[in-house]
Structure 1
Amino acid sequence: MTMNASNERAAMRGDEHFFRTMGMFLALLVIAGFGFNIGGGWVSLAEFPVLIFVHAAVFMLWIGLFIVQPTLIGRNNVALHRRVGWAGVVLALLMVWLGWEASIDMMRRRTDFRDGVTLSIQMSTMVMFALLVFAAIALRRRSDWHRRLMLCATIILTAPAVARLMPLWLGPFTLLVILGILAGLMAVGLAHDRRRHGRFHPAYWWGMAVLVLGTAVMIPVGLWGPVQGYVKGIEWR
């Protein structure tokens, strides 16, 4: 083993507790968000199609994988970490596809969600997630970038759960509050790096940039003529 490889693995193992803890927190956030809707009687499990349960299962598998991966690094099982990581590629593709299908299904069943902005918000979230995941895959040999971009992607993936925790009186400010919460979770990563490594890692700035730009285009894209036309087409099927 070369000295560089040894140093890289030591650095990865040094942060595994932080990434595992963040994964557990995000899992609790997702459970709280969707559990609040179900427990509060806003939605009924009986009205959900099988597609939604499959989507939820893949969602939790993704977060479970995010928790397992740093655990493998902590146990110095880098080879298994890499093999399991390819399962993450499959899950990421499934998440994007199932996210699209679940959004369309929701719009068909609920007339109050049949608008271009709602579709744009759902799809923009999936696009941001996909961009960061595949950037992380491209940088998989640079472990410091890889794991931080994966964290940013997973934080963005929790946006629907965070939205379900927002009070109705926020109205048009809901999107900004969600943006602030997600950016704040990324800032936790910045603070951890500053405390442990003495510097801010740029991966989080890239994650925040994707989050801010993606959020900024949600409403304009949703009001765009072709998107509105597509939604009207769904409504009349």
Structure 2
Amino acid sequence: MATLAGPAVQDPDFQVPARAETFFAKMAIAMAVVVVAGFSFQLAMGRSSFGSPLRVHVHAVLFMGWVAIFVTQSQLATRGPLALHRKLGWIAAGWMVLMLAAAMTVIVAMARNGTVPFFFTPQHFLLADPLTLVGFMGLTGSAIAMRKRTDWHARLHVCGMAMLTGPAFGRLLPMPLLVPWAFEAAGVGASLFVFAGMIRDKRRSGAVHPAWWIGLATLIGMLVLARVLSVTPVGEAIYQATVAGYPGEAVPGLAYAAPPTAPLITGR
């Protein structure tokens, strides 16, 4: 989300005119709506709680903070001032590091405590969630690196943010009914934003910008890698090393837990 001063370089077939392009700003708002809707729905259903541990609150503040930054940056890129867009972009780059640390703390704690949602196997969850973050950071980092190529910059940022909407879709979809492909189903929801960008490009210029293909390949690649790695000896070794000495050690890594008799409080 950082943009350097100086003339922008872009493919003339996929221009993102400064202060004129509203598509990406609208996409940012749509993604924010999905995220807020997903987590609000779980709160309303009693499946999440403000009584969660501190690590969950830190995670929530950082990730919701990212959503706010993303929407703000898209508005600044469209309406200005661009100087503020550039400054906030560098703050956002550092913010991602905090997000990764907070997310890993929560993910590892859930595996160790044996509180992984019952529609995931613990071993798959422990690998899939971090790989989603790797995809997000890779796409977003690439967007920052290509900040002078505004056509790439905008699209890669949307793809990166799309990776983060998977958990929100997972809170809106009937995940227990989608086992064993619940995680992938949430990924399909996230991919809708990428497909929307592809369709828009195709209608506007007659071709799809390669950034969308990279984003889609990253999303699919992380889903496939997590699924395959989780059933290998490497995946088992990672899981066992993570839960050793904790209650989660007694939980089979590749088995689905029985549905809870009370509402599942996520993030424990």
Whether these two folds match at TM > 0.5 is yes
SS in 2 for 1:148: helix
Q: Distance in 2 between matches of 1:99 and 1:232?
A: 17
Is this contact kept in 2: 1:132–1:152, CA < 8 A?
yes
Identify the residue that residue 74 of structure 2 maps to in structure 1: 70
In the TM superposition, residue 56 of structure 1 has moved relative to its aligned partner by 1.2
Q: Distance in 2 between matches of 1:6 and 1:137?
A: 13
Is this contact kept in 1: 2:167–2:186, CA < 8 A?
no
In structure 2, do the counterparts of structure 1 residues 112 and 101 end up closer, same or farther at CA, with 3 Å as the change threshold?
A: closer
Identify the residue that residue 131 of structure 1 maps to in structure 2: 138
In the TM superposition, residue 112 of structure 1 has moved relative to its aligned partner by 4.5
In the TM superposition, residue 84 of structure 1 has moved relative to its aligned partner by 1.1
Alignment of 1:84-99 (within 5 A): 84-99=88-103
* 1:211 aligns to 2:219 (yes or no): yes
Uncovered stretches (5+) of structure 1, i.e. residues with no partner:
none
In the TM superposition, residue 76 of structure 1 has moved relative to its aligned partner by 4.2
SS in 1 for 2:229: helix
Q: Which amino acid aligns with 1:231?
A: T
SS in 2 for 1:103: helix
In structure 2, do the counterparts of structure 1 residues 87 and 117 end up closer, same or farther at CA, with 3 Å as the change threshold?
A: same
* 1:5 aligns to 2:7 (yes or no): yes
Identity of aligned residues (%): 31
Q: Which amino acid aligns with 2:91?
A: A
Q: Distance in 2 between matches of 1:86 and 1:187?
A: 28
Uncovered stretches (5+) of structure 2, i.e. residues with no partner:
1-5, 249-268
- Provide the TM-score with structure 1 as the length reference: 0.88
In structure 2, do the counterparts of structure 1 residues 135 and 127 end up closer, same or farther at CA, with 3 Å as the change threshold?
A: same
Identify the residue that residue 232 of structure 1 maps to in structure 2: 243
In structure 2, do the counterparts of structure 1 residues 25 and 6 end up closer, same or farther at CA, with 3 Å as the change threshold?
A: closer
Alignment of 1:136-155 (within 5 A): 136-155=143-162
Is this contact kept in 2: 1:115–1:231, CA < 8 A?
no
Q: Distance in 1 between matches of 2:18 and 2:199?
A: 17
Q: 1:160 aligns with which of 150, 157, 167?
A: 167
Q: Distance in 1 between matches of 2:140 and 2:216?
A: 14
- Provide the TM-score with structure 2 as the length reference: 0.78
In structure 2, do the counterparts of structure 1 residues 141 and 51 end up closer, same or farther at CA, with 3 Å as the change threshold?
A: same
In the TM superposition, residue 150 of structure 1 has moved relative to its aligned partner by 0.8
In the TM superposition, residue 30 of structure 1 has moved relative to its aligned partner by 1.1
Q: Which has the higher contact order (CA 8 A, sep 6+)?
A: 2
Is this contact kept in 2: 1:193–1:199, CA < 8 A?
yes
In structure 2, do the counterparts of structure 1 residues 111 and 57 end up closer, same or farther at CA, with 3 Å as the change threshold?
A: closer
Identify the residue that residue 29 of structure 2 maps to in structure 1: 24
In structure 2, do the counterparts of structure 1 residues 10 and 130 end up closer, same or farther at CA, with 3 Å as the change threshold?
A: closer
Deviating beyond 4 angstroms after TM superposition, the runs of 4 or more aligned structure 1 residues are 6-10
In the TM superposition, residue 148 of structure 1 has moved relative to its aligned partner by 0.9
Q: Distance in 2 between matches of 1:127 and 1:234?
A: 27
SS in 1 for 2:59: helix
